């Protein structure tokens, strides 16, 4: 009889995530003074399974985001906020293929061709996603290249720096945890989220290419499924490193996103206008297409 799989990872000094292959997940405080009585106080060494691995990864994400639960900003969506989000999307995508290929070549050097091949595949899949964000900005009448060259949202910067740093480590396994964090959060976006953004855009403008592709409607769902399967096939030390990084990335992402969401519409518009050196092609709550002179149309 094969034994069912239970996996666990200590993500902080006092929290271990325990996950069973059935999908059940627990948060546990390890007893470090009596490790013999608490098997979860020591690192796991066994095999993974898709059910328990996804439990660990999503447990790490939930735990990371729970740190801001009480301070969570929930502003009304605005076009300025969406433009800032597109700039963030550009910056979190533009170096992804390069970074993943760096990590892949390190795993090649380390004699781990299966990890290198997985990262190479990911790098191919992610190629061109920055262009989707630029196209969306252009569709909104915003000079995308100038905007992204002069502006990186403050809350997004630490996330980009984290990924850059992870991919040049001597053993860059953490880059898989970071990528899982971003892709899993994106895959949670529903069609209703896209429709809400579409309603902010002027009629006939298609500015949700990036969002569609990074939502439950796009490739992210497959990327997440493939990552879970791949991570579950790795040895215990790699799975531990990936889950720990998923937690760290979730902490950084939660803080950063909240920082951006807490900004007022006026602040965001100011940042955008300073970056492009001219007025935005829309007014508060309304949008004037560059082709249209005078009559601004309601955004929604």
* Binding site residues, Fe ion, CB under 5 A: 126, 129, 183, 223
6 close to 18: Cβ distance less than 8 angstroms:
yes
Q: Which is nearer to Fe ion, 48 or 97 (CB)?
A: 97
- Least distance (Å) from Fe ion to the CB of residue 126? 5
Residue nearest to Fe ion (CB): 129
Rg of the chain in Å (alpha carbons): 21
Cα-to-chain-centroid distance, residue 98: 17
In the complex with Fe ion, the residue whose CB is nearer, 58 or 183, is: 183
**In the complex, minimum distance from the CB of residue 137 to Fe ion, in angstroms, rounded to a whole number:** 16
Q: How far is the CB of 72 from Fe ion (least distance, A)?
A: 25
CA dist list (Å): 264 to 109, 144, 153, 230:
48, 22, 14, 41
Q: State which residue, 38 or 125, has the beta carbon closest to Fe ion.
A: 125
User: What's the closest the beta carbon of residue 74 comes to Fe ion, in angstroms?
Assistant: 25
- Dihedral (CA of 141, 136, 123, 261) sign: positive
Closer residue to Fe ion, CB minimum distance, 133 or 234? 133
How many degrees, rounded to 5, is the angle at CA 108 between CA 166 and CA 218?
60
Question: Between 223 and 269, whose beta carbon lies closer to Fe ion?
Answer: 223
Cβ closest to Fe ion, residue 16 vs residue 133: 133
Cβ at position 182, least distance to Fe ion in Å: 8
CB of 183 to Fe ion, least distance (A): 5
Cα 62 to Cα 188: distance, rounded to the nearest angstrom: 13
């Amino acid at each position: 009889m094969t034994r069912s799989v239970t996996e666990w990872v200590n993500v902080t000094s006092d929290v271990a995530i325990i996950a069973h292959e059935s999908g059940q997940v627990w948060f546990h405080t390890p007893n470090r003074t009596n490790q013999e009585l608490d098997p979860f106080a020591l690192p796991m060494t066994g095999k993974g399974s898709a059910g328990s691995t996804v439990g660990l990864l999503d447990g790490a994400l939930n735990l990371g985001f729970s740190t801001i639960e009480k301070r969570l900003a929930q502003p009304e969506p605005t076009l300025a906020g969406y433009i800032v989000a597109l700039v963030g999307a550009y910056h979190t995508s533009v170096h992804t293929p390069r970074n993943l290929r760096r990590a892949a070549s390190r795993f090649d050097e380390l004699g781990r061709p299966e990890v290198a091949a997985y990262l190479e595949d990911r790098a191919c899949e992610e190629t061109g996603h920055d262009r989707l964000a630029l196209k969306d900005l252009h569709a909104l009448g915003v000079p995308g290249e100038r905007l992204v060259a002069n502006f990186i949202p403050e809350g997004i910067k630490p996330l980009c720096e984290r990924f850059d740093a992870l991919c040049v480590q001597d053993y860059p396994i953490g880059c898989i945890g970071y990528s899982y964090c971003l892709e899993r959060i994106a895959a949670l976006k529903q069609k209703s989220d896209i429709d809400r953004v579409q309603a902010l855009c002027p009629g006939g403008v298609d500015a949700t290419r990036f969002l569609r592709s990074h939502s439950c409607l796009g490739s992210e769902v497959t990327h997440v499924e493939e990552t879970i399967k791949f991570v579950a096939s790795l040895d215990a030390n790699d799975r531990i490193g990936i889950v720990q990084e998923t937690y760290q990335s979730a902490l950084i992402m939660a803080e950063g996103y909240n920082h951006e969401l807490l900004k007022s519409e006026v602040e965001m518009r100011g940042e955008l206008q300073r970056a492009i050196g001219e007025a935005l092609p829309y007014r508060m709550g309304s949008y004037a297409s560059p082709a249209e002179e005078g009559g601004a149309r309601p955004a929604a």
